[in-house]
Amino acid sequence: MGAYVVRRLGESLLILLGISLVTFALLYLVPADPERQIAGRSATAETVANIRAQLGLDQPFHIQYARYLGNLLQGDLGRSYLQRTEVSELIAARMPATLLLMLAAIVVELILGLTIGAIAALKRNSAVDQSLMVFSFVTISAPQFVVGILLLYVFAVQLGWFPIGGYGTLAHLVLPAITIGLLGTGWYSRMMRSSMIDVLAQDYVRTARAKGLGKLRIIFRHVAPNAILPIIAMIGIDIGLFMSGIVVVESVFGWPGIGQLAWQAIQRVDIPIIMGVTLVSACFIVLGNLLADLIAPLVDPRIKLK
Amino acid sequence: MTEATAEAPAAGRPRGTGAVLRDLLRRPRSAFGLIVIVLMVGAAVFAPWIMPYDPNDQMFDGLSLEGAPLPPSGQFWLGTDLLGRDLFSRLILGAQTSLIIGVLANGIAVVVGATVGITAGYFGGWIGGILMRFTDLMMAFPALLLAIVLAAIFKPSLLIVAMVIAMVNWVQMARVIYTETRSLAQREFIEVQRAMGSSTLRILGRHILPHLVYSIIVFGTLGISTTVLLEATLSYLGVGVQPPTPSWGNIIFENQTYFANAPWLVFFPGLAIVLLALAFNLLGDALRDTLDPRLKGRH
């Protein structure tokens, strides 16, 4: 196990290094002329050249990358071109909002997904099962901006139960968390359904039934816990799904997290912020995958370590 | 119908297109998916004849006296947008955009993904190592963020949007094909071919590829759904298909400030996106069941 953990850690670091290189290369190629944006329209060629030199944009690729990487290792993500603030500070300031949203979304998708999947498995092939599975297909086929706007329309504009967007109270959290959580609900309900069906076919479930145990007792004590185990590891992988959605959901709901930060930066071509958020999100995804790989063999000893 | 039900699917053996199609039409979910796809493709192909109005015409009677968009009515079936254009006509033209990008982007992704997967899986070694490490790397990229950055960098045309989507979408296919090719490459019949001196190209084309066709069809179908969603999202954010070319995503983008007063401007394009993505998801899932009997009843 020890060697496995070390090897997976090493791989993760390599992937992060690769991501930093690809992100940097992509943005190096951007024909965006940030120096011109900073200098303004009326600036002379000389001013523009000065700013270019100041930002180090006149250096060749490998030198720029080496310097970027060196700073990165010290936790320095650079400075925003337009806001003149450290990117790490900007991201750190918005991180709590994003983490809160992520946590709430995971709670939503686990509650909804596991319940729906369990009911579908218990009522296998019935009309209930069919409708629940169609629902799970709809949730993975609906783009998050459509879900978000429709939830806003129904529950904020028409019913007035929740605020139309923003941040601060529990009420603000509900709609964005459901919007993100619904996507995961679709995946979890399908996994839970097939996992439950597997467990229901096991001998020990038949034994429990033969012993005359109550139906609910069998489900909650014997079936559900074993069905959930293989799914727990999926939460890690889920973080990747989540990170892809935050840009859209945070801008629909005006949620002040790193997704909104990235979206604002993309519109202003504020490259250091875009790179910073991409890297931080990639870190989350890599960490999530790593956790999933490490947890999976713990909860299910049948999984062999490669 | 009796003829179709009498015929049990032969486990594990390749079946004709007709048999597969019958099977798909017998399942309510995939039949629904097929119907939606046929209708939408029909609408896209015959758009000029179906559209009741010119989709770019800002009609004088398309707005109320106060200048607000009109709700659905006998004259404008799905209402009009902020500029007084007929929403139904724009949605039909939007179907064209979504399907063109969906098929194009997914086509590129399938070709790239399958090529990478087969190459890495068959040859292994350092080529395979590098290709699969690169695939891992792409897996760890926040896909949508990457697509947004790319789309914002290049001035988006239809082709660019399709390329951007393909760039983030080939990974899934590559991984599936890699795993399958790797296990195929170690099977005896491939070793026999090698021992008999068949050329690599012949082995890949005649003996490996045919075994991968089902997976390519299944994941290719599911991939269209991802592509449609990604296009809609990019266009909604304003970095995808650019107005005045209508796309379901950019119709919502253009009208969203007014959605509290004119919800049909979000509801109908949103419904169109969900229906098309759902149709391909249902079809892909049913194809997986039909083509691979090992998985029957598990999904």
**Higher pLDDT residue, B56 or A297?**
B56
CB neighbour list of residue A170: distance below 8 Å, 6 or more residues apart = none
pLDDT digits (tens, 9 = 90+) for B145-203: 877 777 777 777 888 889 888 988 899 899 889 988 888 888 888 888 878 878 888 88
Please state, in angstroms and rounded to a whole number, the distance separating the CA atoms of residues B207 and B198: 11
* Band of residue B1 on the pLDDT scale cut at 50, 70, 90: very low
Residue showing tokens 């001035």? B155
Interface test with B, best of A21, A141, A157, A193 (most B CBs within 10 A): A141
- Give the domain ranges of chain A: 1-85, 89-299
Q: Does residue B227 contact residue B181 with C-beta atoms inside 8 Å?
A: no
Peptide bond into B244 cis (omega under 30): yes
HEC secondary structure over chain A:
CHHHHHHHHHHHHHHHHHHHHHHHHHHHCCCCCHHHHHHCCCCCHHHHHHHHHHHCCCCCHHHHHHHHHHHHHCCCCCECCCCCCEHHHHHHHHHHHHHHHHHHHHHHHHHHHHHHHHHHHHCCCCHHHHHHHHHHHHHHHCCHHHHHHHHHHHHHHHCCCCCCCCCCCHHHHHHHHHHHHHHHHHHHHHHHHHHHHHHHCCHHHHHHHHCCCCHHHHHHHHHHHHHHHHHHCHHHHHHHHHHHHHHHHHHHHCCCCHHHHHHHHHHCCCHHHHHHHHHHHHHHHHHHHHHHHHHHHHHCCCCCCC
Residues of chain A where predicted confidence (pLDDT) is lower than 70: 1, 30-41, 300-306
Closest C-alpha to B56, from B31, B23, B89: B89
Predicted complex ipTM: 0.83
* Band of residue B54 on the pLDDT scale cut at 50, 70, 90: confident
In the beta sheet, which residues pair with residue B69? B63
Interface test with B, best of A146, A180, A287 (most B CBs within 10 A): A146
pLDDT digits (tens, 9 = 90+) for B219-276: 999 999 999 999 999 898 888 888 888 899 989 988 888 888 888 889 999 999 999 9
CB neighbour list of residue A274: distance below 8 Å, 6 or more residues apart = A27, A262, A265, A266, B149
Per-residue pLDDT, B293:
60
Q: Does residue A21 contact residue A282 with C-beta atoms inside 8 Å?
A: no
- Tell if the CB–CB gap between B281 and A197 is shorter than 8 Å: no
Per-residue pLDDT, B112:
95
- Tell if the CB–CB gap between B282 and A137 is shorter than 8 Å: yes
Please state, in angstroms and rounded to a whole number, the distance separating the CA atoms of residues B112 and B102: 15
Global pTM reads 0.86
CATH 1.25.40.10 fits B88-295, yes or no: no
Query: Quick check: helix, strand or coil at residue B80?
Result: strand
Strands (E), chain B: none
Q: Which pair of tokens denotes residue B37?
A: 């796809």
Per-residue pLDDT, B32:
92
- What dotted CATH number matches A89-299? 1.10.3720.10
CB neighbour list of residue B222: distance below 8 Å, 6 or more residues apart = B280, B281, B284, B285
DSSP letter assigned to residue B157: -
In the beta sheet, which residues pair with residue A79? A86
Closest C-alpha to A274, from A301, A247, A235: A247
- Give the domain ranges of chain B: 88-295
pLDDT digits (tens, 9 = 90+) for B10-34: 444 556 788 888 888 888 888 999 9
Per-residue pLDDT, B296:
47
Q: Does residue A181 contact residue A105 with C-beta atoms inside 8 Å?
A: yes
Per-residue pLDDT, B10:
40
- A-B contacts (CB, under 8 Å): 130
- Tell if the CB–CB gap between A266 and B281 is shorter than 8 Å: no
**Closest residue on chain A to B255 (Cα):** A149
pLDDT at B5 over 60: no
Question: Nearest Cβ partner of B299 from A14, A146, A194?
Answer: A194
Question: Nearest Cβ partner of A266 from B139, B149, B273?
Answer: B149
pLDDT digits (tens, 9 = 90+) for B102-138: 999 999 999 999 999 999 988 888 888 888 888 888 8
Rounded to a whole number of angstroms, the distance from the CA of A39 to the nearest CA of chain B is: 20
Per-residue pLDDT, A41:
67
**Closest residue on chain A to B258 (Cα):** A153
Q: Which residues of A touch B164 (CB under 8 A)?
A: none
pLDDT digits (tens, 9 = 90+) for B63-90: 887 778 888 887 877 888 878 788 898 9
- Tell if the CB–CB gap between A146 and B260 is shorter than 8 Å: no
- Tell if the CB–CB gap between B225 and A141 is shorter than 8 Å: yes
- Tell if the CB–CB gap between A266 and B152 is shorter than 8 Å: yes
Rounded to a whole number of angstroms, the distance from the CA of B192 to the nearest CA of chain A is: 29
Question: Nearest Cβ partner of B144 from A32, A190, A244?
Answer: A244
Residue showing tokens 């498995």? A121
DSSP letter assigned to residue B14: -
Please state, in angstroms and rounded to a whole number, the distance separating the CA atoms of residues A259 and A262: 5
Q: Which residues of B touch A245 (CB under 8 A)?
A: 144
